[in-house]
Amino acid sequence: MFTILTGAQFGDEGKGKIVDVIGKDYDIVVRFQGGNNAGHTVIVGDATYKLHLIPSGILTDARLLIGPGVVVDPRVLVSEIGMLERIGIQITPEKLGIDAKASIIMPYHIEMDKLREQKRTQKIGTTARGIGFAYIDKISRDEVRLADLSDANVFLAIMEELCAQKERAIIDLGGDDDVVHAAVRASIPEYIGYGTLLKPYLTDVSYELNRALDRDKNVLAEGAQGAHLDVIHGTQKFVTSSGTAAGSACAYLGVGPTRVDQVVGIVKAYITRVGEGPLPTEQSGEIGERLREAGGEFGTTTGRPRRCGWFDSPLARKAVDLNAYSRVALTKLDVLTGIDPIRICVGYNLDNQYSKYPPQLSSDLERCSPVYEEMEGWDQDISDITAFSDLPSAAQDYVRRIERILGVYVSIVSIGPRRDQVLARE
């Protein structure tokens, strides 16, 4: 079975938690895009794990893979492996494989990301992890792949060719000599060290996945970010630099689309966004603050407060189009407890026209006025409920209303950050 799981909004929908919950049914969990711009939180018992590169299936018995479409910061990966080992989770090459063709995020990508963002008149609010510049180098064929990093001679030859170009680029973006030195030539020995450390994990992810599927193994492709951060279909230019929708998983992983069995969407019961860009239902006042506090809506990667708003049906409908979900996990329902009434944006007004679907351009989305319907709230704490039918009827109605808007069955309702706080509806 091949399942693709993606975020349906602007990231941070709770993908990490749901991968941890369903991961026990899979033999392989694989990341297919993005890099350590992602922050996935998994909470089991008293322990909280914040993962940026290692797939969220880490606490299951699954083999973990990082595909060739991921941009890998080796410094972050090595420290994440170290962090897990310190708490007793051994990351052996049997447990983790990284594709030989994964692009490496180099220190100059990170500096260029920061400098470019400083210079932009209209900020994107990137995570400053060098994601965009690493993907630029992949497309322009100036990338360093993990295979290259793992062979010191190959790596040195590539750097020989790239160093002057990268130094000029940093200076052009306003970097000074110290930055240039630290981000380019001075970092080479450290990166040779990472290549040596990561060499045992090298694998061919497409080959592994196709053979696993031949043998009827279960594979879960774990998305990072969310539908509206997709580099092609998202709210450009306030997007990340990879394809985040389900179809991209096939392209990035090298698994043909006819092998996909199901696509799972992760949908938050309201909406959040980190960084800049349109968010029509954003609540800057009391409700926004309440969602942020109750939902712990602070970025896992950068610590930035997330912008919060009511559930946005037009954006949700588009996410369904982009992903063709087979089923949905609705997360963070507990965060709405005590809010009455709860609002759902059912459509937008733009230039005196009503629409249930978002306009194509961010500049128009920015101008949309949400049209709301109100639903009755509930007061009862739902975080320890164990069956969907035990939820207050207003909470059940809210889930069913979202299900009707999406046109997709909500098979999991999440009512808290812990692994056991899920209600299965199958």
Positions in 7-36 near ligand IMO (CB under 6 A) = 7, 10-12
12 sits near Mg ion (criterion: CB under 5 A): yes
Positions in 241-280 near ligand IMO (CB under 6 A) = 241, 274-275
Q: How far apart are CA 247 and CA 256, in angstroms?
A: 10
Shortest Cβ distance from residue 74 to ligand GDP (Å)? 22
Is residue 264 within 8 Å of 326, Cβ to Cβ?
yes
Q: How far apart are CA 35 and CA 52, in angstroms?
A: 7
6 sits near ligand GDP (criterion: CB under 6 A): no
69 sits near ligand IMO (criterion: CB under 6 A): no
Positions in 266-325 near ligand GDP (CB under 6 A) = 295-296, 300
**Closest residue by Cα to residue 111 from 125, 86, 93, 128:** 128
Token digits of residue 315? 């954006």
297 sits near Mg ion (criterion: CB under 5 A): no
Length of the chain equals 426
Shortest Cβ distance from residue 267 to ligand IMO (Å)? 13
Among 72, 124, 149, 219, binds ligand IMO (CB under 6 A): 124
Number of C-beta neighbours around residue 98 at 10 A: 28
CB-nearer residue toward ligand IMO: 195 or 265:
265
SS (H, E, C) 247-299: HHHHHHHCCCHHHCCEEEEEEECCEEECCCCCCCCECCCHHHHHHHHHHCCEC
131 contacts which partner out of ligand IMO, Mg ion, ligand GDP, none, CB within 5 to 8 A by kind? ligand IMO
Q: Which amino acid is at 119?
A: K
40 sits near ligand GDP (criterion: CB under 6 A): yes
125 sits near ligand IMO (criterion: CB under 6 A): yes
35 sits near Mg ion (criterion: CB under 5 A): no
CB-nearer residue toward ligand IMO: 49 or 398:
49
Q: How far apart are CA 296 and CA 300, in angstroms?
A: 10
Q: How far apart are CA 72 and CA 202, in angstroms?
A: 13
Residue 289 to residues 129, 284, 378, Cα–Cα distance (Å): 27, 7, 19
Q: How far apart are CA 244 and CA 136, in angstroms?
A: 17
Q: Is 233 a catalytic residue?
A: no
CB-nearer residue toward ligand IMO: 72 or 385:
72
Q: How far apart are CA 274 and CA 299, in angstroms?
A: 7
Shortest Cβ distance from residue 413 to ligand GDP (Å)? 8
Pick the stretch among 61-69, 108-116, 389-397, 412-420 that binds ligand GDP (CB under 6 A).
412-420
Q: How many helices (H) and strands (E) does the chain have?
A: 14, 20
240 contacts which partner out of ligand IMO, ligand GDP, Mg ion, none, CB within 5 to 8 A by kind? ligand IMO
DSSP conformational letter for 236: T
CB-nearer residue toward ligand GDP: 42 or 144:
42
Q: Is 40 a catalytic residue?
A: yes
Q: Which amino acid is at 366?
A: E
DSSP conformational letter for 102: P
Among 13, 27, 80, 111, binds ligand GDP (CB under 6 A): 13
Whether the ω angle into residue 370 lies within 30 degrees of 0, i.e. cis, is: no
272 sits near Mg ion (criterion: CB under 5 A): no
Could you say which of 27, 40, 137, 148 is catalytic? 40
Given the rule CB under 6 A, which residues bind ligand GDP? 7, 11-17, 39-41, 43, 295-296, 300, 331-332, 334-335, 414-417
Residues that bind ligand IMO (CB under 6 A): 7, 10-12, 37-40, 124-127, 129, 131-132, 224-226, 229, 238, 240-241, 274-275, 300
Residues with catalytic annotation?
12, 40
